[in-house]
Amino acid sequence: MAIQRTFSIIKPDATKRNLTGQIAAKFEEAGLRIVASKRIQLTLAQAQKFYGVHSERPFFGELCEFMISEPIVVQVLEGEDAIAKNREVMGATNPAEAAEGTIRKEFALSIGENSVHGSDAPETAAEEIAFFFSGLELVG
Ligand code: DAT
Ligand code: MG
């Protein structure tokens, strides 16, 4: 597997509880390098666009309102097999199903307030990185 880049969000439930550093440490411990990072607050239109793939799901409104409720930290993670590795470190979407030692097992409050987002495939990783960062902001 080659070196990849993936896109990560530390979500409002985590920034609100001062968990940014602990979550970033989990990425670094897993061998993922944080090559870009910024703290931002999404507008509703940006949240709706970012999660557009879920627009027909019953939780879409709740998800977008949650994502704009507090600042978030958007990051690009780089490393060997970074997309799958990040999903592994994150744990299952529902924290009740997440494996021991994962971010969601340790920190998530619920299936909705689940502390982190991570890209699920190379195509979505590229799109999501481009949504938030210019090439100049990525420092490998
Ligand atoms: P993931 O974030 O693990 O990629 P996903 O892409 O299926 O999960 O869903 C995106 C986000 O939507 C997820 O992190 C939290 C929210 N979500 C998913 N399923 C939900 C549900 N059944 N109820 C409430 N929120 C949900
Ligand atoms: Mg997803």
Determine contact, residues 103/88, Cβ cutoff 8 Å: no
DSSP type of residue 59: T
> What confidence category does residue 1 fall into, taking pLDDT thresholds of 50, 70 and 90?
confident
Domain residue spans in the chain?
3-41+73-137
Determine contact, residues 104/98, Cβ cutoff 8 Å: yes
Q: Hey, which of 93, 104, 113 would you mutate to test ligand 1's pocket, going by the most ligand atoms within 8 Å of its Cβ?
A: 93
What pLDDT, on a 0 to 100 scale, did the predictor assign at position 7?
98
pLDDT higher than threshold 80 for residue 14? yes
Is 117 part of the annotated catalytic residue set? yes
ipTM of the complex: 0.98
Round the average pLDDT of the chain to a whole number and report it: 98
pTM given for the model: 0.98
Half-sphere exposure of 132 (CA within 13 A, CB side): 27
Class of domain 3-41+73-137: alpha beta
Ligand 1 contact, 111 CB (< 6 A): yes
Ligand 1 contact, 83 CB (< 6 A): no
Of the candidates 132, 115, 122, 135, the residue with the CA atom closest to the CA atom of residue 75 = 132
Which one of 5, 26, 85, 117 is the catalytic residue? Answer: 117
